[in-house]
Amino acid sequence: MMNNEGRPTRPAAANDASSAPDTFSGARALEQHEPLIFERSNPGTVGVDLPDAPDAPSRLGTLARKGALGLPELSEPQVVRHYTRLSRMNYGIDTGLFPLGSCTMKHNPRLNERMARLPGFADLHPMQPVSTVQGALEVMQQVKHWLSVLTGMPAVALPPGAGAHGELCGMMAIKSAIEARGEGDRRRRVLAPASAHGTNPATAAMLGFTVDEIPENERGRVDLKAFEEKLGPDVAGIMLTNPNTCGVFETDIKAIADAIHAAGGYFYCDGANFNAIVGRVRPGDLGVDAMHINLHKTFSTPHGGGGPGSGPVVFSEALAPFAPLPWVTGDGDSGYDLKEEASGDAAESFGRMKGFHGQMGMFVRALAYMMSHGSDGLMQASGDAVLSANYLKARLEDVMSAPYGDGPCMHEALFDDTFLNGTGVTTLDFAKAMIDEGYHPMTMYFPLVVHGAMLIEPTESESKEALDRFADTLRFLAEQAKAGDTERFIQAPRYAPRRRLDETQAARKPILRWKPEAATAEAAE
Ligand SMILES: *Cc1c(COP(=O)(O)O)cnc(C)c1O
């Protein structure tokens, strides 16, 4: 069953059929079957030996707990084994290649972790007097300097806590600038390409703008004519990702910037893919007014699982006055300070968007990453990221199908499911078969403009050997699908601790709390 984006909403029939033989224990080779820790609980078992609590009168009154605490009861070795076994089911960038596109899952040098853990950074409190955190403020000032030089943009806001938060920051500045011009009631429409990351239209909508979708042309880029026809006096701006989510550079970007400015709107660039152009293209030169940078994609910090993130925003001269508070002022000679009030040169700031100053640990990692690479190293990283993606594209395009295959790609290679036509294998099945082969799947069914999309971003940190092995595996799978070995795909994953899950149910009706058996059976219905 498919929803209207072509994404299957139910696992394939394969589910119940098991082609790998069952084992008596539920384990698969040395991979142990592991139930929930609550199911392992054995009442009365303890991992610690504490003296009895002194007999003191309770002061909890009506707040005192009436029932049992309900925590699992286990010994220390049982707990250690439980979590170690779970950790072995995990797959991460330290286990192997992580081909997710639009995410930039790359190796992050351990040096940066080491720096972020220095007690002088890790043990700071955000409310310490500024005289005691001069080094931290200097790091923030340095990060701003590097980001400003790399993007060719004069102002940098460090507070946003993620890419999407950075979008909100940039769009709030745009909204403030429009209101300052007295056009707040009139400019209510934001343009965004159909291939945009979902956070773009969501951000615009959250600020009360209507979102108007621009179609792609047959080269996976903004259709310039369709874009120009959408311009008008009610347009607040455009949100455009470059390089875009089809993995290609928006070659008309200067014409787009000029046209949006001529129409009185602002150019928000989604800079999540900045890692493909660092040191080679300065967004400021392209006419960008605001752009977020995902430090966790481009400048170190491992991510995934929802955090941590950091999404500083760079601003043009026009938007700089509206940037959020607080910001760092001063230099090594005068000492550093924090501008925290919307007064003086911050009178037009739209205010605070985060409790404190941003993600300090990520600023340290980003600065360590940038300084250890140097400007030549950063250029090489973006060049190698693009080279790796093009190498994979070249090694795969004769057996898979690339919808915008003419010409090179940027940092990610996009395939569609045309090569699976008539095989009975879907993008989802193909991805599940990759799990059996030891690979985390690539990004699937995104961008939505491509049917059955498979978006692969190898990054600069994979060796040629790793890329070759990955390409050989995908070639093998593509050939097996075409040769009619459908079982391999619809049965997959056969070797994972869990087979196919009903992902839609899991997302819509997650069971987040363990309850004793009778209650769980009800919740699952
Ligand atoms: C990752 C990404 C975002 C959102 O960034 P988060 O840090 O996950 O909020 C936005 N746009 C694009 C193109 C992205 O790849």
Q: Ligand 1 centroid vs 410 CA: distance in angstroms? A: 17
Ligand 1 pocket member 362 (CB < 6 A): no
d(CA 182, CA 173): 14
One-character DSSP codes across 486-516: HHHHHT--SSSSS----HHHHHHS---S---
Q: In 10 A of CB 368, how many CB atoms?
A: 20
Q: What are phi and psi of 147, to 5 degrees?
A: -65, -35
244 lines ligand 1 (CB under 6 A): no
* Nearest Cα to Cα of residue 265 among 219, 234, 243: 234
So what's the pLDDT on residue 6? Answer: 46
**Cα–Cα nearest to 220, from 82, 36, 416:** 416
Beta bridge partners of 401: 416
Task: Report the residue count for the chain.
Answer: 525
C-beta atoms surrounding 235 within 10 Å: 21
Q: Are 282 and 150 in contact (CB under 8 A)?
A: yes
Q: Whose CA is nearest to atom 8 of ligand 1?
A: 163
In degrees to the nearest 10, what's the CA dihedral of 457, 390, 380, 97?
30
Phi-psi region of 259 (alpha: psi -120 to 50; beta: other; left: phi over 0): alpha
Residue among 294, 296, 313 whose CB has most ligand 1 atoms within 8 A, to mutate: 294
Which atom of ligand 1 lies closest to the CA of 196? 13
CA distance 119 to 178: 44
Q: Do you find a cis peptide bond into 201, omega within 30 degrees of 0?
A: no
Asked if residues 500 and 432 have their Cβ atoms less than 8 Å apart, the reply is yes
Closest residue by Cα to atom 6, ligand 1, is 163
196-233: b (≥16 Cβ within 10 Å) or e: bbebbbebbeeeebebbebebeeebbbbbeebeeebee
What is the Cβ-side half-sphere exposure of residue 361, based on CA atoms within 13 angstroms?
18
Q: Ligand 1 in contact with 102 (CB < 6 A)?
A: yes
- Give the integer Cα–Cα distance in Å for 190 and 358: 27
411 lines ligand 1 (CB under 6 A): no
- Beta-carbon contacts of 352 under 8 Å, excluding residues fewer than 6 positions away, are 159, 324, 325, 326
User: Which of the listed residues 105, 169, 197, 298 should we mutate to test ligand 1's pocket, taking the one with most ligand atoms within 8 A of CB?
Assistant: 197
pTM value is 0.89
* E strand or H helix at 210: strand 210-214
* Amino acid (1-letter code) at residue 286: L
Cα(297) to ligand 1 centroid in Å equals 9
Distance CA 472, CA 466 (A): 10
Atom 15 in ligand 1: which residue has the minimum CA distance?
A: 102
Q: Which residues of the chain carry a pLDDT beneath 50?
A: 1-7, 9-17, 519-525
The torsion angles phi and psi of 392, rounded to 5 degrees, stand at: -65, -40
**End-to-end Cα spacing for the chain:** 20
Task: Report the alpha-carbon distance of residue 399 to residue 225 in Å, rounded.
Answer: 34
Q: What's residue 1's pLDDT?
A: 41
